[in-house]
Structure 1
Amino acid sequence: MIENLRPIEADRLARELDWNLLRTFVVLAHSRSVTEAAERLRLKQPTVSSALKRLEERMGRKLIHRKPGYFQLTEAGTLLLKEAIEIQGAILRLGTLMRDVTDEVRGHVDIAMASHVVCPLFDDTLRTFHERHPAATLSISVSASKEALETVTARRASFAICLVRDRNPKLEYMRLFREYFGLFCGPPHPLFGRSELEKSDLAGQAAVSFVTDRLEDALRPVTLMRADADLEDRVVGTSAHLEEVRRMIIAGLGVGPLPVHVVKRDVRDGLLWQLPPYEGLPEIGVHLVWNPKAKMNRAEKAMLDMLRDKIREVPIEDRTYR
């Protein structure tokens, strides 16, 4: 039985382990059954079951608990999945690395970005990078900060620009800029346009916010500000994207937090109205995050080096948007 197997020596495992088994396991781990995994892999179910059995024999551990109506990773399976995803990312990038061996800086830079990052220093770096390396290409994928960090960990993105709560020791971090969050409402809201408001005027008002606006997440200071304003505990609308939180606030669903420097024009144009508190606003850091173990192409390395140099050159006071 698999449960009675003993783990084999590391060097022997390195010699004998077949990458295709790991690839199959990653699909299995993200499926609800062997049948579903077989459909996604376009293989027959016995083939996938056999691959799982061989992998368990190689690892000397049971990786998935299976019985009718139950399909769950074991502790060993969870650990293996984390490493297999990193290995998968490294293998997928080999082709790109080989393709980019040339005197001219070529290659693709895939940036995982939190929603609506407004940072002149980053914009200036993009412009300079394109001027120096016109043959390189860029893509920016917008997602929740947690998902952006996961893509960097799995080496599917060159680097991320996002919020950070708990630091992963496998990643490297540099603070790109600081921003301050305030509370806002839209034109349909009863508090819109009212001057001389006190914090107590917000008590019991409905709230909208970000999915990361939780005590255990990256926007903890914003959560505390919202609680201190005694807004209604129930959040009526949430999103991972700043544009959608802004939409719900403007539509009058409730009071919500937004970076003050990002929505300055909306306030000027009469789309948003800032509410108390006006002083002591929560400070949030937005970070540049990369995986030091990732094998980067020349374009990725050039872009990352350029960003890090800019951050070192510009004092944090000049990268703080109030």
Structure 2
Amino acid sequence: MDDRNSPERIMREMDWNLLRTFVTLAQSSSVTDAAHRLRLTQPSVSTALKRLEERVGKRLIHRTPGHFALTEAGEVLYREALDIQGSILRLSTLMRDMTDEVTGHVRLSLASHVICPLFDQVLAEFHAENPRATLAIEVHSSAQAIETVSARSASFAICLVHQRNPKLEYMRLYREFFGLFCGPRHALFGQRDLTRADLAGRSAVSFETDRLQDALKPVTLMRAQAELGDQIIATSSHLEEVRRMIIAGIGVGPLPLHVAERDVRDGLLWQLPPYDQTAAVDVHVVWNPRAVLNRAEQSLLDRLLARIDETPIEERTYR
């Protein structure tokens, strides 16, 4: 009987280093790109992929000139390998948390420029009560932030959500409203009594997720209602860079009203119509219920969720 794909054989013979290499391959555009990221030679990475495919008895990556993509089996293995990688990455923190005075390390994944007084207050209280806990905050696109939670390499994420993963948990942290703005170099800057017709055909800058099928769908609809031109001439996944491009006069762009408020006051931004139909966007806390959290992680997450639960959404809505 051929037992090449038996669970016992795979468990007995699987090498974590092969899985680690495969995760990098899956996140790369080619074997050469993966080799560069891993600081290995291209033949070494190719050999590791061949060995892994032999271990699992499946082809994992389609490789032809100009084409590099995971097979169906590769997609399945990538998801599971991410999960395994997250567990391994957490081992040292969990062991340290049990054996010395450090209460634990918290790694947060945040979307760009999360402005939320409630979250800031929870962070301040957490540090005051747990001064020996360590904290790392990484900024990602919302999709990447959620991926770090799925892989259990982040304690939790604060980000936009488009499609919900049934393996993760979600709670709305706050609601913000997006308006359209231009910078001092733009022809509409400083002009009052503007209408949507004044924006017709103007060039736009925006976020990479400003699409009908993505997290910023309300912003996409707002731009369409403002009759802006279809061409978005510059994009970024980071709010600070969208803001930079608006101020530079590259085009009209969307920003959260409460984030842009100071720049408007300082003469760096000018709000444009529509003024009464701004786009509502929700920002969520996302966590993985299967992740084993250390004391610090669990304390911060519990504190944040409790504060959200006891605070009416009206007080977590920023206009």
Does structure 1 residue 283 correspond to structure 2 residue 277? no
Contact 1:28 1:34 survives alignment (8 Å):
no
> Among 92, 96, 110, which residue is 2:107 paired with?
110
- The amino acid across from 1:164 in the alignment is V
Tell me the alpha carbon deviations over residues 123-173 of structure 1, each in whole angstroms, 9 at most, x when there is no partner: 000100000000011121112111111111112211111111111112111
Q: Give, as a single letter, the amino acid of the residue that structure 2 aligns with 1:13.
A: I
**Which AA in structure 2 matches 1:230?**
E
Partner of 1:33: 31
Letter in 2 for 1:297: N
The answer to which of 186-195 and 58-67 deviates more is 58-67
| Amino acid corresponding to residue 58 of structure 1 in structure 2 | R
Q: Does 1:268 align with 2:258?
A: no
Task: Using the TM superposition, name which of 26-35 and 96-105 deviates more.
Answer: 26-35
Check 1:109–1:230 CA distance in 2 against 1; reply closer, same or farther (3 A cut): same
Aligned residues: 317
Aligned to 2:125: 128
> Structure 1 residue 103: deviation in Å?
7.6
Q: TM-score, normalised by structure 1?
A: 0.90
What letter corresponds to residue 33 of structure 1 in structure 2?
V
Q: What CA distance in whole angstroms lies between the structure 2 residues aligned with 1:288 and 1:304?
A: 9
Deviations 1:232-266 (A, max 9, x none): 11112211111111111112111111101111111
The CA deviation at 1:101 is 0.9
Q: After alignment, is 236-245 or 8-17 more displaced?
A: 8-17
User: In structure 2, what residue type is equivalent to 1:313?
Assistant: E
Amino acid at match of 2:247: I
- Give distance in 2, aligned partners of 1:212 and 1:170: 23
CA distance in 1, matches of 2:274, 2:41: 59
RMSD over aligned Cα, in angstroms? 2.5
Q: Are residues 1:24 and 2:37 paired?
A: no
TM, length-normalised to structure 2: 0.90
In structure 2, the CA distance between the partners of 1:7 and 1:175, relative to structure 1 (3 Å rule), is farther
Counting aligned pairs with the same residue, the percent is 63
Deviation string for 1:201-230 (max 9, x for gaps)?
Answer: 111111111111111111011001101111
Q: Which residue of the partner structure matches residue 14 of structure 1?
A: 11
Which consecutive unaligned segments of at least 5 residues does structure 2 have? Answer: none
Contact 1:105-1:299 at 8 Å conserved across structures: no
Task: Specify the alignment match of 1:101 in structure 2.
Answer: 98
Q: Could you tell me which of 176, 179, 188 is aligned with 2:176?
A: 179
Shift of residue 105, structure 1, vs aligned partner: 5.7
Distance across 1 between alignment mates of 2:64 and 2:229: 45
Structure 1 residues 147, 70: CA separation in 2 closer, same or farther (over 3 Å shift)? closer
* Paired residues of 1:105 and 1:298 also in contact (CA < 8 A): no
> Which residue of the partner structure matches residue 61 of structure 1?
58
Structure 1, unaligned runs of 5 or more? none
Structure 2 CA distance for partners of 1:12 and 1:153, relative to 1, 3 Å: same
Q: Confirm or deny that 1:305 pairs with 2:302.
A: yes
CA distance in 2: counterparts of 1:34 and 1:247, whole angstroms: 34
Sort the Cα spacing of 1:44 and 1:300 in 2 relative to 1 into closer, same or farther, 3 A. same
Q: After TM superposition, give the deviation of residue 298 of structure 1 in Å.
A: 1.4
The offset of 1:40, in angstroms, is 3.2
Q: What secondary structure is seen at the aligned counterpart in 1 of 2:98?
A: coil
Taking the aligned partners of 2:42 and 2:281, their CA distance within structure 1 comes to 50
Contact kept? 1:35, 1:45, Cα under 8 Å: no
Whether the 8 Å CA contact 1:152–1:291 is kept in 2: the answer is yes
Residue deviations 1:163-203, cap 9 Å, x none?
11111112111100000011111122121112211111111
CA displacement at 1:28 relative to structure 2: 4.0
Partner of 2:162: 165
* Equivalent residue in structure 2 for 1:86, among 83, 87, 92: 83
Q: Determine whether 1:242 maps to 2:239.
A: yes
Q: Which of residues 43, 46, 70 is equivalent to 1:45?
A: 43
Q: Secondary structure at the match of 1:192?
A: coil
Letter in 1 for 2:146: L
